[in-house]
Amino acid sequence: MTPAHPRQIILDTETTGFYHSAAENPDRLIEFAGLEMVNRQLTENTLHLYIHPQRDIPAEAAAIHGITLDQLEGKPVFAQVAQQIFDFLKGAELIIHNAKFDIGFLNAEFARVGLPPIDSVCSVIDTLEMARNKYPGQKNNLDALCNRLGVDRSRRVLHGALIDCELLGGVYLAMTRNQFSLTDVLEDEAETAAPAAQTTAAPAPVFRADSLIVLHADADEAAAHEAYLDGLGSECVYRQPENE
């Protein structure tokens, strides 16, 4: 099944805190990341920016994402990258975990430079709401969903917009896996299998090649394979001319 919207942006932000609407010294955006998907396939079109917040970064916030004000020295302020972010997102379907938070910060930042709210030019999918509907009564933060859905989060030590986008992409695709051609066929057959007494075989599924991920052996794996074949001796069938 093709997604309703062909162009999607997996989006995440990091900020100085929680209160973008504070009357004095409001919290600001310090990192933006967006990964583009077209027809559920990641493209090479990404946008990842660090942004100087023009204010301090509280220690409790830095402890979460690991970003300090010193690291942002010389980075652009939001007004310098606002149009770039807006144009990148405009017209796409945004996939965000706890969208209310990120949309609130983006809209506050866009308002400061005279741009319209981003949710007025984009549709939004909130994967937190999706997860709460799918797994009621369970933990549905990003770490819990990665564990539940088998998404590798070993590289996530601190919160970061780019790594969180990559993990969220895996979570979103796993939660909507009925849109995968390969996984959909395998799981639907298991869930709707006929009783054992039925003798009529189901037609063989047809897999789309473009939905399969091919992992090629690296140099070390290829060398280990060759060493294993060497151990089988000169009569190894895989070393016969017709199999080369």
29 is a domain residue: yes
Partners of residue 126 on adjacent β-strands: 96
Question: For the domain that residue 22 is a member of, what is the CATH number?
Answer: 3.30.420.10
> Within 10 A of 94 (CB to CB), how many other CB atoms are there?
22
- Do the domain assignments include residue 142? yes
Q: How does residue 156 score in pLDDT terms, banded at 50, 70 and 90?
A: low
Position 126 scores a pLDDT of 98
Residue 226: pLDDT band with limits 50, 70, 90: confident
Residue 133 included in any domain: yes
Q: DSSP secondary-structure letter at 35?
A: E
- For the record, the structure tokens of 141 come out as 């933060």
Helices (H) and strands (E) in the chain, counts: 8, 5
Whether 100 is in a domain gets the answer: yes
Q: What is this structure's pTM?
A: 0.70
Please check the confidence at residue 41 and state whether its pLDDT lies above 80: yes
- Asked whether residue 12 is marked as a ligand-binding residue, the answer is yes
* Pairwise pLDDT comparison (213 vs 70), residue with the higher score: 70
Residue 122 confidence (pLDDT) above 70: yes
In 3-state terms the chain splits into helix, strand, coil percentages (rounded to 5) of: 45, 15, 40
162 within some domain: yes
Q: Which pLDDT does position 221 carry in this prediction?
A: 78
pLDDT for position 219: 80
- What integer pLDDT is reported at residue 238 of this predicted model? 59
Residue 63's domain comprises 8-176
* Number of domain units in the chain: 1
pLDDT in tens, 140-154: 999 999 999 999 877
Inter-CA distances, 64 with 58, 72, 156, 186, Å: 10, 16, 12, 39
Transcribe 5-24 into DSSP letters: SSEEEEEEEEES-S-TT-SS
Asked whether residue 204 is domain-assigned, the answer is no
Domain for residue 226, yes or no? no
Residues recognised as catalytic: 159
Mean pLDDT, rounded, of the chain: 83
Task: Confirm or deny that 65 is annotated as ligand binding.
Answer: yes
**What pLDDT does residue 187 have?**
47
Does a structural domain hold residue 40? yes
